Structure 1
Amino acid sequence: MNRSRFTLLLGGLLLTSLTYAQNDRDEQPYQTKNFTGSLNTVRVETSGGSILVEGSQSSGVKVDMYVRPNNWPDNKMSKEEIEERLKDYDITINTEGNTVVATAKRRGRDNWDWKKSVSISFRVYTPRNFATDLKTSGGSIRISKLNGQQNFTTSGGSLHLTDVEGAIKGRTSGGSIHLAGCRKDIDLSTSGGSIHAEDSEGNLALRTSGGSVHLNNLRGKINATTSGGSVKADGINGELITGTSGGSVKLAGISGSVEARTSGGGMDVEITKLGDYVKLTAGPGSVRVRMPLDKGIDLDLSGRRVAVPLKNFSGNTEEDRIRGKLNGGGIPVTIAANSGNVYINQ
Structure 2
Amino acid sequence: MKKHLLLLFVACQSCVAFAQNSKTPYMTKSLSGAGIKDVFVNTSGGSISVSGDASEQPRVEVYIQGNNGNGDISKEEIEKRLQNYELSVTVNGGEVHATAKNKHNFSNWRNSLSIGFKVYVPKQVNTNLETSGGSIHLDNLSGNEKFETSGGSLHVDKLTGTIKGETSGGSIHVSNSGSNINLETSGGSIEASNCNGSIHLETSGGSLRLTDLKGTINANTSGGSITASNIAGEFKTGTSGGSINLTQLACALDASTSGGSFHAQFNSVGKYVKVDVSGNVNISLPGKQGLNLDLRGDRVEANFASNFSGTKEREKIDGKLNGGGPTVEVRGNRINLDLN
TM-score by structure 1 length?
Answer: 0.88
Say which is worse superposed, 78-87 or 24-33, in terms of deviation: 24-33
1:95-128 alpha-carbon deviations (Å, 9 max, x no partner): 2322111000111126x42110000000000111
For 2:251, the equivalent position in structure 1 comes to 256
Which blocks of at least 5 consecutive residues in structure 2 are unaligned? Answer: 1-19
Contact 2:132 2:150 (C-alpha < 8 Å) held by counterparts: yes
Say which is worse superposed, 36-45 or 118-127, in terms of deviation: 36-45
Matched residue count: 318
Larger proportion of helix: 1
For 1:102, the equivalent position in structure 2 comes to 98
For 1:14, the equivalent position in structure 2 comes to none
Q: Compute the displacement of 1:38 (Å).
A: 2.8
Residue number among 36, 39, 43 corresponding to 1:46 in the alignment: 43
- Aligned CA-pair RMSD: 1.8
Which blocks of at least 5 consecutive residues in structure 1 are unaligned? Answer: 1-23
Alignment of 1:64-103 (within 5 A): 64-71=61-68, 74-103=70-99
Q: Structure 1 pair 61/75, CA: closer, same or farther in 2 (3 Å)?
A: closer
Matched, 1:343 2:336: yes
Q: Compute the displacement of 1:235 (Å).
A: 1.1
Matches of 2:228 and 2:318, distance apart in 1: 28
Q: Give the letter aligned to residue 29 of structure 1.
A: P
For 1:242, the equivalent position in structure 2 comes to 237
For 2:13, the equivalent position in structure 1 comes to none
For 1:18, the equivalent position in structure 2 comes to none
SS of the residue corresponding to residue 205 of structure 2 reads coil
For 1:139, the equivalent position in structure 2 comes to 134
The 4+ residue runs of structure 1 with deviation greater than 6 A are: none
Q: Structure 1 pair 118/229, CA: closer, same or farther in 2 (3 Å)?
A: same
Q: Compute the displacement of 1:287 (Å).
A: 0.4
For 2:267, the equivalent position in structure 1 comes to 272
Contact 2:49 2:137 (C-alpha < 8 Å) held by counterparts: yes
Matches of 2:216 and 2:71, distance apart in 1: 47
Matches of 2:179 and 2:77, distance apart in 1: 45
Q: Structure 1 pair 213/32, CA: closer, same or farther in 2 (3 Å)?
A: same
SS of the residue corresponding to residue 84 of structure 1 reads helix
Say which is worse superposed, 59-68 or 207-216, in terms of deviation: 59-68
Matched, 1:317 2:312: yes
SS of the residue corresponding to residue 87 of structure 1 reads helix
Q: Compute the displacement of 1:196 (Å).
A: 0.4
Q: Give the letter aligned to residue 341 of structure 1.
A: R
For 2:200, the equivalent position in structure 1 comes to 205
Q: Compute the displacement of 1:239 (Å).
A: 1.7
